[in-house]
Structure 1
């Protein structure tokens, strides 16, 4: 666990404008130095004013007047010095405790010299209680009470003129009773706060996400947790302290962006975005950045939480690249363009690796350079074509043996001795070659990867990308060979198309199974959070558990969207009669617990001229995406938020309009909002899949969609779906 520097007492709470002032008032009684300064100020004022008044009215002698003025001057001097001198500030509790004993001696001296009235009795009682505030431990308070009792007894028995000694005893025991209750309550509150703060420290320091704490204005890091050290690859907290958190980003925000972010934080008490980061050792990774204003050391600070989403981004990029490559190959029949796109994306995903694709010549004797976007022409020219045999370079070995060839260190590999100068120049330290085989087992080429560091073999994550890439290259090469040589029959070409469909189906099954596997631990996590919430009564950790639950729920919603996309791709259209009004009501019922749903008025208008026939499940997906978007991207700055659903069904089609008065969409993004993973705004926590799934689902039922939108005014989506039974 990362330890917070000793001079910083970690007291962090989410700011809540409703009870902030009340809580701040209570916190005054937890600040020892503030209490001491207030008591010193009160002592100086009371002794100066009351001593002067009593002397002017003849109630005290000149000696007592000087004593009162002396106490007032001393209190004022210590009060002023506590701001100017670090030594006085450091030993302020000790100085004030000695002053308290002097004050009590003076009070007892005066008390045993007067015939007590009610006013004087209350004054002594208040003095006792104020003095007792100085003591933080029971042993110190008990010592003070015992010494005070001895003072009172000595004062009474050394001054036989005291007329009401019992009054002093009443005052003493009343003061002891009240002080003991106050101290006991204070200790209980302190123990509760200590446990609460300990729980938060555990949540802050042991979080699976990186947590940074900065000031609101300059964003200089003042503390962090252990995960932050691991994520940014530093040895200790001191390596991050004082650094501008904005500088950790690959592309730091400019001044305009910083101003925009600050405004959003001010309006919403938080902000989030997915960004690329660079560790202190130069490693680039993706992180979900979340800003949240919290109270730290009794002042507003910025808590910066960074979740590592590199693997999710890599999976998204891989799926998107494979889809684009298959589309290129199918539409353009341009194998070079498609494979260049694939290899470039693989190099970008893995980072410290370069790739090349060799193609077998017609005679099957040599491997020819085919795709190598990052390999220099000098290296290609030096190595030239590679013969297919066991004694050749690793690519030739892989083609000859039809097995993966490993070269962990080119410096010590005999096959590379003639090319070692070029390898060093182009930072090739290790090389691995994977044969590309046709369905019949024939060698089509070799997929080769080069690392800048020596390693025994690619790690598991890299191998997953490489194997998938080799399979796709094999399918595309085999299809290209068939088209180029024109040696395959129509049946063979159809088989190749089936291979492409099979690859897409495998991708869908991969997404489906992976999403299901991911949901199980997420549901377990939500269950554990619910259990912890039931066992905790303190509101502060409950807020952080609520934040954790929100993050897990957002991730689960993203996985659900992936499952919807996969299900839409894999299942056939099932036409049946439906009650469109009932289907809409069912969708609204499912969204009633969505954040902000209760603030949005739902208006429904249906004109069902004839029965409507379409796919019920896909209709629910379409309506769910449109209505949930209207709720998610509502305009929180206005009061009358609404979403209006109009539907007209005739014999040809159903026309459904979903209109809202939300934040709208920037016109520049009109042509991009239906793209996979595209997000037009940082408001909300969507994945950028919703409208893409909507478009794909509409395509399955031959529907179409149009959009009218104005920023800060609202959006209107109009969809048209054929009435399959009656059209």
Structure 2
């Protein structure tokens, strides 16, 4: 089966390259063979879409039609092929296919985001209304009680702290969802010291030793504000779950480079996490116990923030001995030297 002289003139095929099979894409040869089997087609005509090689050795999409000519004995005499270039049409079809696939993915993401936001708003309002209801009851007790008010005021303070944490977490959640990633040079020593000072200045002094090991030659670029949020959450977590009676609770923060990635570990000697809880601690509003004072948002927000900066978090823990969170980070812009002073 040879290519016609007209196609030869248009595509400038070289001598010896003008059989239809030699021009066809390997994946389409079987189509042409089926098409060339006249016994398969009762109407004496058929078509298929195949890729044929042009004079630049590039494959173009062609609509290949063939007509079957039979002799007086009804035996196949010859097959006449005609080809129509449909490359542009196939490219448009591919664009539409990709657009539809992208739209489907976006619709799934939109549905998941809506469900997540609805659940978040419900739980966030619950976390605020609960302490408010408790405070209302406590104020009623104050009006009726003739005993010392110090205990009741302490309970009110605890409720206010819960409300403050809930509102703070809502703000962090919203900022992480809406803020664009801003790449800058990360000074890990300065970042850790800033976060440590924020806890030292708080009314509830952490009473936990925080140490860090940071190589001096680290050059790293990422979103500093998101990293600050993540560090705050992990340090707060170590403080919240330290052993109450331990003589020396501590947190060690270690930064290291390995295989082109940066690893930051947060290792404490606190209460630890039960094995059955390890897979759940990053879920939204998950609390490891009913006695937990948090809203179950911190680690969820930390994981979401990491996803924004191409990061990953893992946890290892021995219940009763301590926990280690490890961040895996990649630099976001190695050429942003202008921001490093």
**1:547 aligned residue:** 155
**2:279 aligned residue:** 671
**1:630 aligned residue:** 238
Structure 1: gaps spanning 5 or more residues = 1-487, 526-537
Task: Report the secondary structure of 1:662's partner residue.
Answer: coil
- Structure 1 Cα separation of the partners of residues 227 and 287 of structure 2: 23
**2:253 equivalent to 1:645:** yes
Write the mapping of 1:235-634 to structure 2, written as runs, cut at 5 A: 491=99, 494-495=102-103, 497-502=105-110, 540-593=148-201, 597-634=205-242
Name whichever structure is richer in helix by fraction. Answer: 1
Task: Report the secondary structure of 2:289's partner residue.
Answer: coil
**What TM-score does the superposition give when structure 2 sets the normalisation length?**
0.56
Change (3 A) 1:684 1:592: farther
Contact 1:642–1:660, Cα closer than 8 Å, also in 2: yes
Greater relative CO (CA pairs within 8 A, separation 6+): 2
- Structure 2 Cα separation of the partners of residues 678 and 513 of structure 1: 15
- Structure 1 Cα separation of the partners of residues 269 and 129 of structure 2: 37
- Structure 2 Cα separation of the partners of residues 498 and 625 of structure 1: 30
Change (3 A) 1:595 1:662: farther
Cα deviation, 1:273-327, whole Å, max 9, x if unaligned, reads: xxxxxxxxxxxxxxxxxxxxxxxxxxxxxxxxxxxxxxxxxxxxxxxxxxxxxxx
- Structure 2 Cα separation of the partners of residues 505 and 669 of structure 1: 25
- Structure 1 Cα separation of the partners of residues 99 and 333 of structure 2: 35
Q: Which of 715, 718, 725 in structure 1 is aligned with 2:323?
A: 715
**1:703 aligned residue:** 311
- Structure 2 Cα separation of the partners of residues 688 and 519 of structure 1: 10
Cα deviation, 1:319-365, whole Å, max 9, x if unaligned, reads: xxxxxxxxxxxxxxxxxxxxxxxxxxxxxxxxxxxxxxxxxxxxxxx
**2:36 aligned residue:** none
Q: Aligned pair count?
A: 228
Task: Report the secondary structure of 1:706's partner residue.
Answer: strand
Contact 2:127–2:295, Cα closer than 8 Å, also in 1: no
Contact 1:512–1:566, Cα closer than 8 Å, also in 2: no
- Structure 2 Cα separation of the partners of residues 577 and 591 of structure 1: 24
Task: Report the secondary structure of 2:271's partner residue.
Answer: coil
The alignment yields a C-alpha RMSD, in angstroms, of 3.7
Structure 1 residue 632: deviation in Å?
0.6
Contact 2:124–2:170, Cα closer than 8 Å, also in 1: no
- Structure 2 Cα separation of the partners of residues 539 and 628 of structure 1: 35
Change (3 A) 1:653 1:642: same
**What TM-score does the superposition give when structure 1 sets the normalisation length?**
0.28
- Structure 2 Cα separation of the partners of residues 520 and 681 of structure 1: 19
Change (3 A) 1:630 1:520: closer
- Structure 2 Cα separation of the partners of residues 597 and 701 of structure 1: 31
Contact 1:704–1:720, Cα closer than 8 Å, also in 2: yes
- Structure 2 Cα separation of the partners of residues 575 and 521 of structure 1: 38
- Structure 1 Cα separation of the partners of residues 319 and 230 of structure 2: 23
Change (3 A) 1:520 1:689: closer
Structure 1 residue 698: deviation in Å?
1.6
Contact 1:576–1:615, Cα closer than 8 Å, also in 2: yes
- Structure 1 Cα separation of the partners of residues 275 and 253 of structure 2: 23
- Structure 1 Cα separation of the partners of residues 175 and 263 of structure 2: 25
**1:216 aligned residue:** none
Structure 1 residue 695: deviation in Å?
1.7
Contact 1:580–1:612, Cα closer than 8 Å, also in 2: no
Write the mapping of 1:136-155 to structure 2, written as runs, cut at 5 A: none
- Structure 2 Cα separation of the partners of residues 562 and 546 of structure 1: 25
- Structure 2 Cα separation of the partners of residues 643 and 564 of structure 1: 23
Structure 1 residue 512: deviation in Å?
9.1
- Structure 1 Cα separation of the partners of residues 327 and 154 of structure 2: 37
